[in-house]
Structures are given as structure tokens and as C-alpha cells.
Amino acid sequence: MRIKSLDLLRQEAAVNDATTLKRSLGAFNLVAIGIGVIIGAGLFSLTGIAAANHAGPAVTLSFVVAAVGCAFSALCYAEFAAMVPVSGSAYTYAYATLGELFAWIIGWDLVLEYSVGAATVAISWSQYLNRFLSYYGLHLPPQIMLSPFETATGTDGSIVSGYINLPAVLIVVVVTSVIIRGTSGSALFNAIVVALKVLVVLVFIALGWQYIDPANYQPYIPANTGVFGEYGWSGVLRGAGVVFFVFIGFDIVATMAQEAKNPQRDMPIGILGSLVVCTVLFVLFGYVMTGMANYTEFKDSAAPVAIAIEKTPYRWLGQLIIGAILIGYTSVILVDLLGQSRVFFSMSRDGLLPRTFSEVHPRFRTPWKANVLLCVFIGLFAGFVPIRVVGEMTSIGTLLAFVMVCLGILILRKKQPDAPRSFRTPWVPVVPILGIITCLIMMISLPGDTWLRLVAWLAIGLVIYFAYGRKRSKLRSTQ
């Protein structure tokens, strides 16, 4: 098994010339990048579903449980990202701990996570665009708003099926063109969008607070119906599984290590800081939302925020929030695409993918060829696959990466106990082991077809590895 040594990784990280990415991100940018990808489609749709079907007002507790579950993995990510500050995230960590084959598998899995993650948000974006336009009496034909697997009922009662989700494809293309122009430009754009997004959440909390009806909190944890996961404490747990999707994305910060000015200090701040900020916001958000309307009212609604706002005289707020959501989603897509091209970049630099994908643009210094290829790939998902499918694939792909990272920490602490670590995951081995267990439980709760898709994706990856990467690996030629 070929393993890339930590020393080699550090040497690579130290190179800074025209062939490498620019080190332009500070702690503040990194936290903003984390928040930028965390707050997205999930918060504005799943919170209501988790409350209505599983936890009631105790969805706040579901948020806390999910946050603790994520924190185990986040702590492991933080140790790695500070220790091995090259781009590539879990892929690179696996290269240093588990060897090249595992590194390939995890890199391939990350490519999936970020592609389907971006596609999920792009599709949700298209749905919100539809809602936004309808405020102004505009209606786009369903044929260009839906994937071929979905149907809509027309005003005359006829059933039409979709051809392509065109707005979802377009938003992916637009965002790609932004990131090709450079990371620091994208970071500025991201910071502005994140500020707007956080502002919307804060405005919702502050205005909504006055319209909380305490009766909606009675009982705070509705009695279990006798079925596991329908209210009661088991409902809180099931709710946590549902809102897990809302939290994911903080791991993307780890892919930016190569572009951080001071990764040893700032990577842990970026990863853990964004998780903490979002946890606080989510708990308050869930508290206010379930206080404004009764949890039962959120049943089957993809836009719970709109239901809550109807309880206030601020109808205009609904439109404003949807507008902000449209803008806010672009930063999730942006950061997903950014992270993904960095993983691709590292895999290509190591010789496991064709060299052209690690060439950086002479002027923008971004891996633009990787960006273009991935844009096409994600565009296909966004245009032709239904949202549930890509959403669940995102979760399973993310969870697999989390498991590998926790495992990596256990292994590296054994193998290289004395290597310098500027951030140490506390209570090893307890934290990584708990991380692995929580993630496995959540993976098991996902449906079988999602598992099949993951296995199929990994199988394709293995074929490519054995047919291409294994022979061309740079590490192989140097050893």
C-alpha cells in the first residue's frame, strides 16, 4: 500500500509559485466559507419537516443532537486540516494514513458529495425561483423546471412531465464562471452573501420572537405515538437524522487549507467556528419557527418559513426572505464547486487523474479546466435528477467521508504519535470512535437505493483507478 509521508505533504504545502494556488484566506474568510455552505436548502425546508413529522417544538433538541454528532467529525477534521495544510481535505489525509487506494476512494467520494450537494441546492434554488416569480404573476413552463422523472399538473388538469431543470443548470454555469476568475474574488462575493444570509436568519428570529404563542410549545416534546421516531425522545433522534443535512458543509473548509494564510491556527477556527455559529442560529431559528406556528401546520410543506410568516403582519417579509434565499443559495453552490475543484486538483497533481486538471490559469491562478469539467457533470445532475435522489446521495457521501476522517485520526495517532499537531482532537480515541458510530447509524437509516448508488459510484471509481491512476501515480514513480 503506497502511503504519502507527512514530510512530503508538508514540502508540497510549502511551495508557493505560479503553479500553486494563492494563499489568500484568513480566519474570518474561512468561517464565512463554512457558514456559506452550511446555511442553505436544508434550513429553509427540513426544519419544518423534522418538527412536523418527528420532534415537534423539540426540533431545537434535534438540532443540538445533530450538532454534537457533527462536532465529533469536525474535531477530527480540524486536527488533520491544521496538520496537513495542503488542499484536498479527507483525500489527502487518507493518502497519509490509509494509503493510495483508500485515498482514491475517499477523493472519488468527495467528488460525489460536492457534485450532488451542489446539484441539490441548485434544484431547490430553481423551486424557490418559481415561487419568487409567481409573486409577480410569472410562470415558467414546467417542462423546463423539472427533471424528466418528475411531473406537474397543469392548470387545466393535464399532467406534464419535465425535460430538464433549466434554471438549476444555469445557476451552476453562472457560479462556475465566478470561481474561475479567482479565489479572493469568490471569497469577497461569498462574504457579502453570507452576511445577507445571516442577516435574514437574524431578522426572522428577532421579528418572529414577538409573535411566539407559548401555547405552541405545549407540550414541548409531544408524546410518542407508539411508533419509533414519531415524537417523544425517539422523535428527537429521528429529527436529528433529518436535520443532519442542514449542518453538513463545514467539512468543505478543510479543502481550502492550501489557500489559508495561516492554516495551523485558522483551519480549526474555520471548521469549528462555522459549526458553532450555525448551531446557535439553528436552535434559535427552530425555536422561533415552532413558536410562531404549531408544528402540525408544517406538515408536507417545503417552505415552512412562509407558513410562520403568515402569522405576522409582515407579509412583505416573506418575499424578502425568498429573495435572500435565492441569493444565499448561490454561496452554497459556490463553495461546493470551489471545494470540489480543489480535491480534483490534488488528485490530478498526484497523478491519479489526468494532469490537465491541475494546471492553473496563468492569470487567475485557479484550476479552471477542472472547474469546467465539473460544471458539466454537476449540470447533468441538476438538470436531470430529482431532488430527493441527489439530497440523499449527498448525505451518504458526506457520512462516508466523515467515517474515513475519524478513522484516519485514530490511525495517525497510533502511527505517528509525535508528529507536530497545532490542534489536537480531544479525548482520542473516544471522540473519533463516537464520530464513526454516529455516522454509521445515520448511514444505515438511509434507503437502500441510495446505498446502491453509492456502491455504483465507488465501483466506477475503482475501475478508473486500476485502469489509470494506479500506473500513473506520481508517488509510484518516486518510490
Write out the residues near ligand ARG by the rule CB under 6 A.
37-38, 40-43, 113-114, 117, 121, 245-246, 248-249, 252, 332, 336, 394, 398
Shortest Å, Cβ 197 to ligand ARG? 11
Q: Nearest to residue 24, comparing CAs of 185, 192, 189, 260?
A: 260
Shortest Å, Cβ 155 to ligand ARG? 31
Report in angstroms the alpha-carbon separations of 250 from 77, 82, 244: 9, 15, 12
Q: Calculate ∠ Cα 407-409-412, nearest 5°.
A: 110
Which of 58, 401 has the CB closer to ligand ARG?
401
Q: Calculate ∠ Cα 33-63-249, nearest 5°.
A: 25
CA atoms within 13 A on the CB side of 306: 14
Whether residue 39 contacts residue 198, with contact meaning beta carbons closer than 8 Å, is answered with: yes
Shortest Å, Cβ 178 to ligand ARG? 17
Q: Nearest to residue 142, comparing CAs of 133, 152, 128, 156?
A: 152
Which of 121, 146 has the CB closer to ligand ARG?
121
Which of 38, 105 has the CB closer to ligand ARG?
38
Residue type, 403: V
Q: Nearest to residue 309, comparing CAs of 195, 198, 200, 193?
A: 200
Which of 12, 336 has the CB closer to ligand ARG?
336
Tell me the chain's radius of gyration from C-alpha atoms. Answer: 22
Which of 20, 331 has the CB closer to ligand ARG?
331
Which of 44, 368 has the CB closer to ligand ARG?
44
Shortest Å, Cβ 55 to ligand ARG? 17
| Residues forming beta bridges with residue 152, ordered by sequence position | 160
Shortest Å, Cβ 338 to ligand ARG? 11
Which of 13, 121 has the CB closer to ligand ARG?
121
What are the grid coordinates assigned to 247, written together?
Answer: 449542518
Shortest Å, Cβ 15 to ligand ARG? 27
Shortest Å, Cβ 174 to ligand ARG? 18
47: helix, strand or coil = helix
